Amino acid sequence: MNGEITIKYIDLFCGLGGFRLAIEAAARELGGTAECVFSSDIDEECRRVYAANFSETPHGDITKVEAEAVPAHDILLAGFPCQPFSIIGKGLGFEDTRGTLFFDIARILEAKRPAMFVLENVRLLVKHDGGRTMGRILETLREMGYQTDFRVLNALDFGLPQKRDRVFIVGFREPARFQWPAGGIPMKPLAELLERDVPRKFYASEKIQKTRLKQESRTSEPTIWHENVSGNVRARPYSCALRAGASYNYLLVNGERRLTPREMLRLQGFPEWYKIACGDYETRKQAGNSVAVPVVQAVVRETLKAGVKMLRSEPVRSAA
């Protein structure tokens, strides 16, 4: 990119701004810059935290925003709500109102015709309803003329000590030579992410700790103990996926305590300067709904590399 291009992007269902951190870092890696021209999230607490970190308050409910009112942009970014397709949710897909929010992405793509897009969702979206839900999404995107592909990527392969599988969908308005990032980045040790002095409020009860010890044993190296839906406990040198609606005892450091808000943000790849602007409960929910920044950064970097010719030949029109 050599610095001559400023990527204009929109950040839908923006949450804590993980996509924003990712694209701005990816643009810098390629020698360019990125400018957010529109952001949106229905959650008031997320909008407050986003504003505290980026000095910009996102718009609210995207269903109430006319597509024509969205500024012209080069790339659309969206981690659209995953609950309709999640193993934790009821799995209703498009029968759930939140599932139809994909079509708000589609109407903006149809109206604004950006050169590229990157979408993110839970892994189970791929097989939801026997694959018909993903098929409908891909068909919708391709009918609009976008070259589209998808892949499931794991945060463990991109340096984070968190087992987090997510599906990414990328698309290009014109034919592009896109390659998925390979990953293979060594995992950062848990010891580098965990805080040393943790308030007692994060510790599980003595009863819970004893229950954990009946199933696992502590080691000299830090581990995170994961309790699955069947009640079985396993200790790993990494975290299982952070979840917004999980029980407080779902993940316990060394079988003893819950993760702190800062530790959860670190597990998602957020930088140390990122401000925590709300309480523990809200931050826990927000982190569980967020994206793993290094994974998104790798996908967006490859997307920009593949689409840069389009940007050079047809830069975004500010009046569009």
- Residues forming the active site: 82
Largest CA distance in the chain: 65
Q: Name the residue with tokens 């005892």.
A: 249
Length of the chain equals 320
Beta bridge partners of 151: 168
| Residue 39: closest CA among 74, 78, 6 | 78
In the three-class reduction of DSSP (H, G, I as helix; E, B as strand; rest coil), residue 48 is classed as helix
Residue with tokens 């702190």: 260
The C-alpha atoms of residue 78 and residue 38 are separated, in whole angstroms, by: 12
Q: Is 131 helix (H, G, I), strand (E, B) or coil?
A: helix
Separation between Cα atoms, residue 292 and residue 268, nearest integer Å: 4
Report how many helices (DSSP H) and strands (DSSP E) the chain contains, helices first: 8, 11
Q: What is the rounded CA–CA span in Å between residue 285 and residue 264?
A: 10
Cα–Cα distance for residue pair 125/91, rounded to 1 Å: 9
CA-based nearest residue to 145, from 98, 113, 100, 99: 113
